[in-house]
Amino acid sequence: MEAATVSTAAARPRTSRWRALLPPFTFVTPPTALLVVFFLVPMAILAVIAFEWGPLSGSSGFTLSNFTSIIDDPLYRRVTITTFEIATIAMLAQLVVAVPVAYVLAYKAGRFELPLLLMMVLADELNPMVRIYAWRMLLGREGIINSGLMSLGVIDHPIDALLFSKFAVIVVLSTSYVTYTVIPIYAAMKAINSGLFEAARDLGAGWFTTFRRVLLPLITPGIFVALLLVYIPLFTDFASPTLVGGTSGYMLGQSVNDLVLESGNLNAGAALSLMMLVASALFAVVAYKLAKIRQLDT
């Protein structure tokens, strides 16, 4: 009798433990299934096609030739350098704009804070193609900027470098993603006690010292989040370089598009996509580690 009582008491906690674990599993299972179906499975298919491994790739072997052909090709090395240059300059330009805008929204806008924030979000909802063609109208030979400068007598003939150049791609990319740069930095600023700035001024710190020693270290996590949200998509964008970049603004996103749609080389396009995905993952890991280190320092 005592043995039966002990076994029943032992089984009861085990049953209650499973009942306690059941609700979390119920909530976690659907998003996990969606992640597997819509992310992991496509990534696996991409890898199969890139390595030409299995029936999905049209081959039963395994090869690294798609990767080595891209790495050994000097054209792709030049395109990679151009992509890194354009993406980095565009990201820096966005940070230069985003930090003051976020500061104004967080501390100076007052009752206009929420309306201005909503206006930024709504402006970002505009179709990207509309924005790109609007910039083409502004930067073209007969665009508003060239026409305005010529009517003022500043220039005698249109400036061709305004469109179909690296400059045009940087401008379009910077304006396309600036909202995603502002919002994380704004969120980081809202978590800062504004009394810290008054304390810094009372101790004799000027605006630049206050920015460098107080504000910048505290908004670093927001900056790293902005880098994750914006810097990685800048590498893969192909619509803006295609429509306003010309030959000098050719980027890796266009290379994938041309390999798959123009050349029909699905294997090489998958290989280049996989390489860009791995590079993005490495950048995300480095940014995450740096953000954790910065948070420990502050």
Residue-level pLDDT at 221: 86
Residue-level pLDDT at 19: 57
Residue-level pLDDT at 156: 87
Residue ranges covered by each domain of the chain: 2-57, 74-297
CATH of 74-297, one of 2.40.50.140, 3.40.50.300, 3.40.50.720, 1.10.3720.10: 1.10.3720.10
Between CA 241 and CA 238 the distance in angstroms is 6
> What does the block give as tokens for 184?
């994380």
Per run of 10 residues, the mean pLDDT along the chain (length 298 residues) is 48 55 64 78 87 67 86 93 94 94 91 90 84 90 89 88 91 92 93 86 86 88 89 88 89 91 89 91 81 58
- In one-letter notation, the amino acid at residue 131 is R
Residue-level pLDDT at 25: 61
Residue-level pLDDT at 13: 55
**Is-contact 249 163, C-beta < 8 A?**
no
What Å distances lie between residue 77 and 47, 86, 234, 236, CA to CA?
Answer: 22, 14, 17, 16
Residue-level pLDDT at 270: 92
